[in-house]
Amino acid sequence: MQSNEIKNSKPEWTPQNAGEEFTSSVMPGKINSENPSSKPVIKAKNLSIQDYKNGVLAGDKTILARAITLIESNSTKHLDIAQELIKEILPYTGKSIRIGITGVPGAGKSTFIETFGLYLIDNNYRPAVLAIDPSSTVSKGSILGDKTRMEQLSRNDQAFIRPSPSAGNLGGVTRKTRETMLLCEAAGYDVILIETVGVGQNEVTVRSMVDFFLLILISGAGDELQGIKKGVIELADAILVNKADGDNIIHAETAKAQYNNALHYLSNATPGWTTKAYTCSAVENKGIDNIWSVINDFVEYTKSKEIFTDRRIHQTRQWFESMLNNEILNSFYRNPYIKEKLFQITEDIKFNEITAVSAVKKMIDLYKSEVLHK
């Protein structure tokens, strides 16, 4: 396009009879002829299972992201394709270190993960971050802002960040996190970091899918006392007191000492491994190498005692049982007969014509007699 053509080229929203005072114009795109590889690659709209597999194994982030979207889909037409893909990539999984990271709001989990991820990259590792955002109980939506908070890490070619909504799961992780983790392993990411929603009695599902469980806390926010009461602290393989910088160093060291004293009275999450508290400053990049050393010591110890392998076998069994329970529930609620009767019995409960306990028994009896026995 010549310069005079550019000057006279106006966008389609240009007002009728607009004069020269309307300065908006359409500019042609510029193609770097010296580097043909910079031209955008048009991806196929519909990918076969083999396309997905090849793309994931090649480390193609675009196809990896699409594969994860396929896995996360609740559509029944995607289920068989997704499971076939998982079956295809299974031989290429299991070679990473899986780390669960949780902590109180404001503890600096995202900042720590970004600093930690960059540290891993500097030491020739490829980290994948699965950041789980809480879903609203009202709108069912999620902000999914973790990738934005990890700006430097998200721009690094050696890292992969995938934010996903929890979709109401009490475990603090999305229902398809395990499958997503396997896809990332097949794509060549050797350290998988799973950041969960928060801490609490119910948010411990991540323990059932990772090798090492890290609890991040801060000093001066009541964590020293309140954290001891939470069941999640007994699941941690290490406690990390973040924000040990500036005037807060003394408080962080005090918190670390308090946690270490408390841990003497609690059972260790991993047999033979002594859970300890440490300090770090994610902002100042202090203590990051120390926690990585702790993780490596943990992996070496658990592998030497066969705890590592046994735990993964146990986790696979838990995964199977969890998926079986979900499928049984889905089968129950999807049944047309049950849907109809469920509406009727819910109305009866609303008008106090039947108790909740009796209603449950009635629904189970109906399911057994009208669905299972046919």
Tokens read off for 155: 């721009």
Domain with 363 in it:
316-372
d(CA 39, CA 59): 19
Q: Sorting pLDDT into bands at 50, 70 and 90, what band is 207?
A: confident
Tokens read off for 103: 């902590």
Contact (Cβ atoms closer than 8 angstroms) between residue 239 and residue 287: no
Q: Sorting pLDDT into bands at 50, 70 and 90, what band is 334?
A: confident
Residues 189 and 325 in one domain: no
Contact (Cβ atoms closer than 8 angstroms) between residue 165 and residue 135: yes
Does residue 59 lie in a domain region? no
Question: Is residue 323 predicted with pLDDT exceeding 50?
Answer: yes
User: Domain boundary residue among 283, 305, 327?
Assistant: 305
Could you tell me what percent of the chain has a pLDDT over 70?
Answer: 75
Residues 275 and 331 in one domain: no
Q: Which residues pair with 100 in a beta bridge?
A: 194, 213
Mean pLDDT of 20-33: 53
Contact (Cβ atoms closer than 8 angstroms) between residue 184 and residue 135: no
Does residue 358 lie in a domain region? yes
Question: Is residue 212 predicted with pLDDT exceeding 60?
Answer: yes
In residues, how long is the chain?
Answer: 374
Contact (Cβ atoms closer than 8 angstroms) between residue 244 and residue 252: yes
Q: Which residues pair with 98 in a beta bridge?
A: 192
Mean pLDDT of 149-172: 76
Domain count, the chain: 2
d(CA 171, CA 2): 60
